[in-house]
Amino acid sequence: MLVIPCPHCGPRSHDEFTYSGDATLRRPANDAPLAEWIDYVYLRDNPRGPHREYWHHVHGCRAYVTVERDTATHAIVSPDGDAS
């Protein structure tokens, strides 16, 4: 029941989105050590509190929207700082 601020479409119901995971991950360089790749593919933090994550606006503009969601309260802060 979240309202997700889409930079293109405005505030939209989360029904229109697919959760797409941690937005802080950076794809390792091609020749990075295997351990780094395994971290990237398999290991995820499970923080309580603010979490930057991707929501894919599949039923909208198809953008991967980055939002900061508090995993304990579901409060969402959009990248430009607006609370919703």
Partner 1 sequence: VTAGPFRLAVGGAIDRTRTLAFTFDGCSYTGHPGDTLASALLANGVRVVGRSFKYHRPRGVFTAGPEEPNALVRVGQGARAEPNTRATMVELYDGLVAAGQNSWPSLDFDLWALNDLFAPLFPAGFYYKTFMAPARAWPAYERIIRRAAGIGTHVPHPDPDRYERRFAHCDVLVVGGGAAGIMAASAAARAGADVMLVDERDALGGHLRGERAGAEILLPYISALAGMANVRLLPRTTAFGVYDHGTVALAERVADHLVPAAPTLPRQRLWMVRAREIVVAAGAIERPLVFAGNDRPGIMLASAARTYINRFAVAPGRRAVIFTNNSEAHRTALDLTAAGIEVAAVVDARAGDAVIATKGRALRAVAVASIDDDGQPAGAARWIDCDLLAVSGGLTPSTHLHSHTGGKLTWDDAIASFVPAVGAANSHVCGAARGVFALGDCIADGARAGDAAAQALGLKTSVLDLPACPPDEPWSIRPLWEVESARNIRGKRFVDLQDDVTADDLALAVRENYRSIEHVKRYTTLGMGTDQGKTANLNGLAIVAARRAEAIAAVGTTTFRPPYTPVALGALAGPETGKHFEPIRRTPLHDWHAAHGAAFVEAGQWLRPRAYPRPGESFDAAWRREVLAVRGAAGICDVSTLGKIDLQGPDATAFLERVYCNGFASLAAGRCRYGLMLREDGIVLDDGTVTRVGERHYFLTTTTANAGRVLAHLEYLLQTAWPELNVRVASVTDQFGQIALAGPRSREVLARVVDVDIGSAALPFLGSAATTIAGARVRLLRVSYSGELAYEIAVPASRMVAVWEALLEAGREFGLSTYGTEAMAAMRIEKGHVAGAEINGQTTPADLGLARLVSAKKFFVGRRLLERPAMADAARPTLVGLEPVDGVTAIPAGAQLIADVRAKPPVRMLGHVTSATFSPTLGRPIALALLADGKARSGETVVAAAPLDGVAVAARIVHPVFYDPAGERLHG
- Identify the bridge partners of residue 13 per DSSP, sorted by sequence position: 3
At residue 73, what are phi and psi to the nearest 5 degrees?
-115, -10
Residue 47 CB, nearest distance to partner 1 (Å)?
18
- Least Cβ distance, residue 56 to partner 1 (angstroms): 6
Q: Does 43 bind partner 1 (CB under 8 A)?
A: no
Q: Is 3 in the site for partner 1 (CB under 8 A)?
A: yes
Instruction: Based on the shown chain and the rule CB under 8 A, indicate whether residue 44 belongs to the binding site for partner 1.
Output: no
- Going by the DSSP 8-state scheme, the letter that residue 73 receives in this structure is T
Contacts with partner 1: how many residues (CB under 8 A)? 27
Which neighbouring-strand residues pair with 51? 69
